[in-house]
Chains A and B, each alone.
Chain A
Amino acid sequence: MSESDIPSAYVREKRSPAPSREELRARIPGWGVDLDPADRPSNPKLLHAPDTGARWDFPERQPEHRPRERSIEHAFVTPVFGTAQPLKGASGAIRRLAYARFSEGRLAHWMLLVVGDRVDAVEHHLRSFATLRPDVPATGVRTELTHGGLASRRGRVDARHHVLDPLVVGGPWLVAAGAAVVGVRRLVRAARR
């Protein structure tokens, strides 16, 4: 390798400088219009915002009609908060424990919330079986037929793990169904004795 072939990383300057401003402007609409870092909208980082529309120093508090969970890293429940899906059931108890006992810095906080999510889903699935609209393992899958499921995946690297999807999605349902069948059989046998 001659000295002129030595790559840029090993010498003082880049071997291939960037194209000229003129060339880039001719090729790319708007090239360089935000060239000046000091004139970009998020600069400086801690800009004192001019007028956000807020006419308060601390906002009026939203009424708290029922005790609301909060991160223990907060001094209080924030003045405005979401009221969607309040805590209830076994999942609610798990989530309440996560918020009341562990800060966001503790892995236990997040793992309990994940467990709460799974329990929440199971609670609702079970309840849905008593309705005319039972839950299914996955929704929207008819688009595999209407939107080119096979053709869209041809040659893609992620097709390797797509084959796992039915297992990941349907596996827990099969296990639950199997456990239910075994349980019912045992109950029936016990009743016959």
Chain B
Amino acid sequence: MRAMVYRGPYKIRVEEKDVPAIEHPNDAIIRVTLAAICGSDLHLYHGLMPDTRVGHTFGHEFIGVVHEVGPSVQNLQVGDRVMVPFNIYCGSCWFCARGLYSNCHNVNANATAVGGIYGYSHTTGGYDGGQAEYVRVPFADVGPAKIPDWMSDEDAVLLTDATSTGYFGAQLGDIAEGDTVVVFGAGPVGLVAAQSSWLMGAGRVIVVDHLDYRLEKAREFAHAETLNFAEYDDVVVELKKQTDFLGADVAIECVGAEADGNLLQHVAGAKLKMQGGSPVALNWAIDGVRKGATISVMGAYGPIPNAVKFGDALNKGLTLRMNQAPVKRQWPRLFEHIRNGYLKPSDMVTHRFPLEEIPEAYHVFSSKLDGCIKPLIVPSAA
């Protein structure tokens, strides 16, 4: 089969690989029909995630058709059209039994600090991902779900991570009616977090980024006010001014380890890898909210320490909430919202690339060329 393969930082290519095999009785093999590149894939691509091995196939956002099932699989049949959450989880450990699907303890031998994720280095379990023609899906009776007939492929693939994560981010913000919510980052997760904040009763939503084309999308797609931090000397002061010197009631951080906004932090963290990425957006969130506020962190960070302004968080009495999204827990509600037209994830798709051109897709997305917000990948066997 053809598959995207990592060759080292900033280097990927498409190679011939063996079609994955059933390795556990509850495995399924999925023929991928549509995949996406996530902003967090860029952390791998740039070499920021420890134990990213040459030869690894990325991709944790994908849908497909069941190609083969293991002997104990009961809920799926060959030929089913399925969507697969980015979380790999057993459904029965202490954590899964409490709904913390992203924190499963039975699938990641390499680390206890993170659950299992498709195509996201060996730090999340060493599973090849879905930017390929076929992918192994463990616990096929637990994670995947059949795609409803009425749902488009684009909406389905965006529900496997970006949409669920954005919505989950708004939930962790504990938004109360009338709250002012500031969302850092106008990528797909930030756009959905902004939309979801309204569903949870926000009175005002402000999206912060520096890319004008993405801020325009935030205004049009998420009905949000926008703030281009490049236009201000100090975005924290601007946020205070815009909120009558209180600060926002809730911040949702949807940027993660490669934040711009502070040249020194970005170069030291994201480029030279002297810390676990650049925590600029997280620090702005800490300083830009009011005392007693809640910060929800959806941006992806690796396990290496960051220079986070923890003292400010303590002294302001902030509540910091974060996790990888337990995707399938969000789906029934998100299906309703898509059906009712409250959320339309597919509107965020800007580019489609054939799998053979995935090096180009990564470069365009990473460098934010050509108005790119969300690139999809179409395998040749689709």
Q: Please, what's the 1-or-0 string for B23-55, where 1 marks a CB less than 8 Å from any CB in chain A?
A: 111100000000000000000000100111111
B203/A24 in contact, CB under 8 A: yes
Q: A15-B244, A40-B200, A124-B7 are in contact. Are A84 and B98 (CB under 8 A)?
A: no
Contact of B168 among A15, A42, A114 (CB under 8 A): A42
A8/B106 in contact, CB under 8 A: no
B310 close to chain A: CB less than 8 A:
no
B361/A140 in contact, CB under 8 A: yes
Q: A9-B290, A31-B198, A152-B370 are in contact. Are A53 and B177 (CB under 8 A)?
A: no
A139/B98 in contact, CB under 8 A: no
Stretch at the interface among B184-192, B311-319, B324-332: B324-332
Interface residues of B (CB under 8 A from A): 7-13, 23-26, 47, 50-57, 72, 74-75, 88-92, 96-101, 105-113, 116, 122-123, 125-128, 138-139, 141-142, 168, 171-172, 174, 176-180, 196, 198-201, 203-204, 210-212, 223, 229-230, 243-247, 260-261, 263, 266-267, 271-273, 290, 303-305, 326, 329-330, 332-333, 337, 340-343, 359-364, 367-372
A140/B364 in contact, CB under 8 A: yes
Contact of A84 among B26, B128, B364 (CB under 8 A): B128
Contact of A80 among B107, B203, B372 (CB under 8 A): B107
Q: A14-B246, A62-B24, A140-B361 are in contact. Are A46 and B98 (CB under 8 A)?
A: yes
Q: A58-B92, A85-B122, A120-B54 are in contact. Are A9 and B361 (CB under 8 A)?
A: no
Compute how far the CA of A14 lies from the CA of B204 in the bound complex, rounded to whole angstroms: 13
Compute how far the CA of A9 lies from the CA of B89 in the bound complex, rounded to whole angstroms: 45
Add 4 more A-B contacts to A140-B12, A143-B367 (CB < 8 A).
A8-B246, A18-B204, A30-B199, A70-B110
Q: A27-B223, A84-B127, A149-B369 are in contact. Are A157 and B230 (CB under 8 A)?
A: yes
Nearest CB in chain A to that of B326: its residue: A42
Interface residues of A (CB under 8 A from B): 7-10, 14-19, 24, 27-35, 37, 40-43, 45-49, 52-60, 62-63, 68-71, 73-74, 77-85, 91, 95, 99, 104, 107, 110-111, 113-114, 116-117, 120-121, 123-125, 128, 133, 135-144, 146-149, 152-153, 155-158, 160-162, 164-165, 168-169
A57/B92 in contact, CB under 8 A: yes
B7 smallest CB distance to A (angstroms): 5
B47 smallest CB distance to A (angstroms): 7
B343 smallest CB distance to A (angstroms): 8
B369/A41 in contact, CB under 8 A: no
B225 smallest CB distance to A (angstroms): 12
B23 smallest CB distance to A (angstroms): 6
User: In the complex, what residues of B have CB within 8 A of residue A10's CB?
Assistant: 245
Compute how far the CA of A134 lies from the CA of B142 in the bound complex, rounded to whole angstroms: 41
